[in-house]
Amino acid sequence: MADHDSPGGGRARRPDPADRAQLRESPVSLRRVAALFAPYRLPLVALTVLIVAASTIGLASPFLLRLVIDEALPHQDITLLLWAVGGILAVTVVTAVLGVIQTLLSTTVGQRVMHTLRTDVFRHLQRQSLAFFTRTRGGEVQSRLINDVGGMQSVVTSTATAVASNVTTVVGTAVAMAVLSWRLSLLSVVVLPPAIWLTRRVALLRRDITTQRQRHLADLHGQVEEGLSVSGVLLGKTLGTGPLASAHFERSSHDLVGLEVRSQLAGRWRMATMNILFAAIPAVIYLAAGFPATSGGMTIGTLVAFTGLQAGLFRPLMSLLNVGVEVTSSMALFSRIFGYLDLPVEIDEPAAPVALDPREVVGEVRFEKVGFRYDAEGPDVLDDVSLVVAPGSTLALVGETGSGKTTLAALVARLHDPTAGRVSIDGIDVRDLELGTLARIVGVVSQESYLLHTTIRENLRYAKPEATDAEIERAARAAQIHELIAALPQGYDTVVGSRGHRFSGGEKQRIALARTLLRDPRVLVLDEATSALDNETERAVQAAIDVVARGRTVITIAHRLSTIREADQIAVLHRGRVAELGDHASLLRRGGRYARLDGTAATLAA
Ligand code: ADP
């Protein structure tokens, strides 16, 4: 019989308002969901057949039981008894095996669909612009991919198969009950609904209390963590709020007492209700069976079979009451995933790319009346910027924080697209180049050089998968980092990152420079580290940059005086506009903004 601890009632759910809101905002077309499953039509049909078969075969047991009680036992018919008991065993074994196959099919289909979605979402999100990732809250994208797509599995395996099997069980059982005794079936129709209603109410109540209790418990834990940590205690002591925190804690703890009691009682009540119902409903049936008017002259075997069937009806009926909620949450899941898949790709491949061999690029970079806004309604971050960087020359971008240096440099690598004007390389608009080609022409070394959590060798090879070890070493030498790597116990096989060797900022930047060297880009965009490096590191980084910059067009967001001095051109940005342009000497002579900046830098450097 149904186990009394979790007879379906424990899973009673209330709809999640967030799911509803999600669906209201972006409804999901069923056709689109169906299309995901279309390739698996065959296994899905097989799955349905299996579910129906398993539920139907399961119904044979009560009839066999009736045979045992009414025929085999009273008449001492051993042969019949053996057959009937064998049948009961066979039914259990067959339904169990069918269940295993059912799980295999549903999990396989679920996982395949999940795999497709996961891959699609990953690919699509990777194509999103940098702006998308700076806009989205950290971790949200990752959680979307892992949790929402992961939730798919339960949609297919639990929701869909549970609905199918519960519906067939309920229908089959109802028919079988009617066949056994239509009078008692009518009685069930009267008795069952209130019993199920009561069970569900109790289960929902208990769920609410449990949720409330968990929230309070988490709050209490938070208070302990906050109130008894070094910084929390320090804050409490300096603000004199210690007693207040204690009082607050006492109140929360006191509230929890009541909640815990209610929660325990609710659990107990739920069990009690279930036990009472599971005893009472058959009792009512036995009673009815005693009266000729309701029994219709039924045998004992029929009565036992009937009560057995009826008990088996409880659980599927209970879970069918959750179908609405489950469908809503599944659809909300799809809605969220589709939402990601439907995001427009802001920076995409050109429709008709201009063919260009990266090796033949000369490297002239032009900004032509470039304007940029992060936000359509926001302020101009760049406004009417026109600059020409001759092949092989260096342009240093200077200006106070927020003047637009980073943004301007990012336009060359198409990390953003200008909202006005254009950026060209050798006269070709960067938007007309294939993204892969552009990436081979323009190399970017940012301040925060990102290294993958793998060996140094793999980090370098990431830039050029076919690079030989000799090439890698040559690049590292040029970037002034070979000696350091070679001195490590594991050399180039040292693992980088939190669980490996921790490199300093300057070292990381040099590894990044080596990585860029391997790609041999004609145009280099550099973001010098703002944080002060010690003299020796600074010299090493500078030497590395000098080697890497040789013969390339370099656009550098400069902070170091030495870099700025030696640049062929210096563009002083102010509020997104080029305020001054020239080389160090001429700008100094002008005695304007640059001269003042230089004064500050000189003081800082001193
Ligand atoms: P700089 O490199 O000179 O410090 P940036 O190019 O980083 O300047 O920033 C220029 C302006 O654009 C600043 O006002 C900054 O607040 C704004 N900005 C930078 N990044 C974003 C972003 N992702 N979204 C919105 N505004 C941004």
Q: How far is the CA of 446 from the centre of ligand 1 (A)?
A: 15
Q: How many domains does the chain have?
A: 3
- Confidence (pTM): 0.75
CATH code, domain with 522: 3.40.50.300
CB of 576 sitting under 6 A from ligand 1: no
Rg, Å, the chain Cα set = 36
The answer on 173 and 62 residing in a single domain is yes
Is position 510 within any domain?
Answer: yes
What lies within 8 Å, CB to CB, of 441 at 6+ separation is: 356, 358, 361, 363, 425, 433, 521, 522, 523
Residue 134 CB–ligand 1 contact under 6 Å = yes
- Of all atoms in ligand 1, which is nearest to the CA of residue 408? 6
Please check whether residues 434 and 557 belong to one and the same domain.
yes
Residue of 407, 415, 416 best suited for mutating to test ligand 1, as the one with most atoms within 8 Å of CB? 407
Measured over the CA atoms of residue 552, residue 556, residue 560 and residue 566, the dihedral's sign is: positive
For residue 48, the model assigns a pLDDT of 92
Distance (Å, whole) CA 430 – CA 350 = 9
329 and 440 share one domain = no
For residue 309, tell me if it sits in a domain. no
Query: Who's near 547: CB < 8 A, 6+ residues apart?
Result: 478, 479, 480
- Are 458 and 532 found together in one domain? yes
**434 in the same domain as 334:** no
Same domain, 543 and 423: yes
Nearest to 132 by CA among 336, 415, 401: 415
Give just the sign of the alpha carbon dihedral 389, 447, 359, 431: negative
- Could you tell me if the CB of 451 is within 6 A of ligand 1? no
Shared domain check, 457 and 404: yes
Q: Which domain holds residue 254?
A: 182-297
Q: What pLDDT is attached to residue 6?
A: 39
Distance CA 299, CA 457 (A): 82
Same domain, 366 and 429: yes
Q: Does 379 sit in the ligand 1 pocket, CB within 6 Å?
A: no
Secondary structure (3-state) at 107: helix
Report the chain's terminal Cα–Cα distance, integer Å.
Answer: 86
Q: Which residues face 443 on adjacent strands? A: 524
Residue of 310, 327, 58, 325 lying closest to 193 (CA atoms): 310
Predicted confidence at residue 258, as pLDDT, reads 92
CA-CA distance, 181 to 183, in Å (whole number)?
Answer: 5
Q: Is 456 within the bounds of a domain?
A: yes
Distance 522 CA to ligand 1 centre (A): 26
Tokens of 306: 């009937």
Contact (Cβ atoms closer than 8 angstroms) between residue 417 and residue 382: no
Residues 113 and 163 in one domain: yes
Q: At 58, list the tokens.
A: 């399961």
Distance 36 CA to ligand 1 centre (A): 41
Residue 303 lies in a domain: no
Does 353 map to a domain? Answer: no
pLDDT at 11: 64
Q: Is 516 within 8 Å of 500 (Cβ atoms)?
A: no
Position 92 scores a pLDDT of 94
Residues 437 and 337 both lie in one domain: no
**Segments of the chain with pLDDT less than 50:** 1-10, 602-606
- Looking at the structure, tell me whether residues 459 and 363 fall in a common domain: yes
Using alpha carbons, select from 434, 441, 424, 409 the residue that is nearest to residue 365: 424
Predicted local distance difference test score (pLDDT) of residue 156: 64
Q: Whose CA is nearest to atom 12 of ligand 1?
A: 381
Looking at the fold, whether 515 and 471 belong to one and the same domain comes out as yes
407 lines ligand 1 (CB under 6 A): yes
The per-residue pLDDT for 85 is 95
Q: For tokens 């119904």, what's the residue?
A: 59
Asked whether 399 lines ligand 1 (CB < 6 A), one says: yes
Q: Is 351 a member of any domain?
A: no
